[in-house]
Homo-oligomer: A and B are copies of this chain.
Amino acid sequence: MTTDHRQMWTDLGIDLERHDALLNALLPIYEETFLSQKNRPKSMEYFDFVVGDIHGIRVQELRQHAMNGGKVVATYCVFVPEEIVLAADAIPVGLCAGTQFSVPIAEEVLPRNTCALIKSSFGFKLGRICPYVQTSHLIVGETTCDGKKKMFEILGQYQPVYVMEVPNKKTQPSRNLWLSEVIAFKEVIEKLTGNKITEDKLARATKLVNDRRRALQRLYNTRQSRPVPISGKDALLVTQVSFYDDVDRCAQQVNAICDEVEARIAAGEGVFPTNTPRILISGSPMAIPNWKLHHLLETAGAAVVCEESCIGTRAFSELVPENGGTVEEQLRAIADRYMQIHCACFTPNDERLDDIVRLAREYQVDGVVHYNLQFCHTYANEAVKVEKSLAKEGIPLLRIETDYSDEDVGQLRTRVDAFLEMIRR
């Protein structure tokens, strides 16, 4: 696999030695985590292929697009409206990273007390080991947390970065600010691409992104069934891949899985026994290839049936209304939709507490695991409220704070085992 693309990686300025080390480390972990699973949906083959060739064909597509004069726009957050990027015939690609491999590289520059996701992403650029960032013409950041907000300033010394301001409150003046940011972003993208964003193009892009959201909604709905027809690891992987795969193709592939797992549900089949403890994970996002907690839970005898996370329900729960209208009307609808993401960056963000309780019911979970990336202040503080809120509902909660390293795996396994034992009683 790695041989075909070496010339492309060289052209992109990739540090081949480091990159080989990354891929050589990643693939055995992938095999152990995913391919060892029993009774997987056959349509996961596509996603296995995508991950198996993670820095290959998809990068080639982006590069081909760039060679044809198109632009690639990198993002780190579900607040950056992909509709606008697509409407200007540019390709959005999610850059959030989930590997310990690039963390020490980032620590040469960034404060160590930074969450692993930020360090991993930044290390990808600093270490020149991510062909996606190398292919991107513009990185779009946002102000959802202090760590990212300030990291983007440093990242801007290496590659063009534009930052969107996500407000802190949800008042009308804050919403006005966000709308003006969405409009400004449209202008930035038009300038970058040289393409005018028209009513038609924006409406088409909106439908395209909504179709992928609908496919993911459909997939997540299947996970409400008992027994659950797809593992948490596989569902997480699908969601992770949706951040950088072609939007239309991804929607089709997710729907193909849905066809298959819906048939399983009709036949009363599942991947785990019916009495398997069902877990909702809520909290910080898990960027590819961060499968640590899912793997821990599912090898300990639990099933992860939902992720209340940016790489989970927050990414697709809300659609942009497809009412058409002028570009400005559509931008307003887009701005409104994005303000419905219940991110911990907002104060207050009590809607998220409601979401967690609602999802816990809808997915018939036996317990919630609150997942907190170490040094992520916003989710760590919200965990205090989540704990109260779940206690009131009598839903068991396990609070996990961790990073991308393997150092705490033994300790986490002990805590997970104890939690599952408590649930099973």
Which residues of A line the B interface, CB within 8 A?
Answer: 109-111, 113-114, 143, 145-147, 149-154, 163, 165-169, 171, 173-174, 176-177, 180-181, 184, 344-345, 347-348, 372, 374-375, 377-378, 380-385, 401
Contact of A153 among B109, B113, B147, B348 (CB under 8 A): B348
In the complex where A176-B177, A177-B174, A347-B163 touch, is A381 in contact with B151 (Cβ < 8 A)?
yes
Residues of chain B within 8 A (CB-CB) of A180 are 173
Chain B residues with CB under 8 A of A151? 381
Q: Which residues of the other chain, B, contact A149 by a CB distance below 8 angstroms? A: 168, 347, 378
- Copies of this protein in the assembly total 2
Cα-based distance from A245 to B110 in the complex (angstroms)? 39
Asked if A110 and B150 make an inter-chain contact with CB atoms under 8 angstroms apart, the answer reads no
Q: Are B344 and A150 in contact (CB under 8 A)?
A: yes
Do A165 and B169 form a contact, CB below 8 Å, given A113-B113, A149-B347, A377-B113?
yes
- Check B150 against A378 for contact (C-beta < 8 Å): yes
- Picked from B153, B167, B168, B380, the residue with its CB within 8 Å of the CB of A385 is B153
A147/B385 in contact, CB under 8 A: no
Tell whether, in the assembled complex, residue A377 and residue B111 are in contact, meaning their CB atoms are under 8 Å apart: yes
Contacts A153-B348, A382-B150 known; A113 to B375 CB distance under 8 Å?
Answer: yes
In the complex, chain B residues whose CB is within 8 Å of the CB of A384? 109-111, 154
Q: Which of B167, B345, B382 contacts A177 (CB 8 A)?
A: B167
Is A154 a contact of B110 with CB atoms below 8 Å?
no
Q: Are B113 and A374 in contact (CB under 8 A)?
A: yes
Interchain CB contact under 8 A, B165 and A380: no
B residues within 8 A CB of A348? 153
A-B contact pairs, 11 of them (CB 8 A): A111-B401, A113-B113, A113-B380, A114-B377, A145-B146, A146-B381, A150-B347, A150-B378, A154-B381, A165-B167, A177-B177
CA distance A171 to B163 in the complex (A): 12
Nearest to A148 among chain B residues (CB) is: B377
* Inter-chain contact A174/B169, CB cutoff 8 Å: no
Interface centre among A149, A176, A380 (most CB of B within 10 A): A149
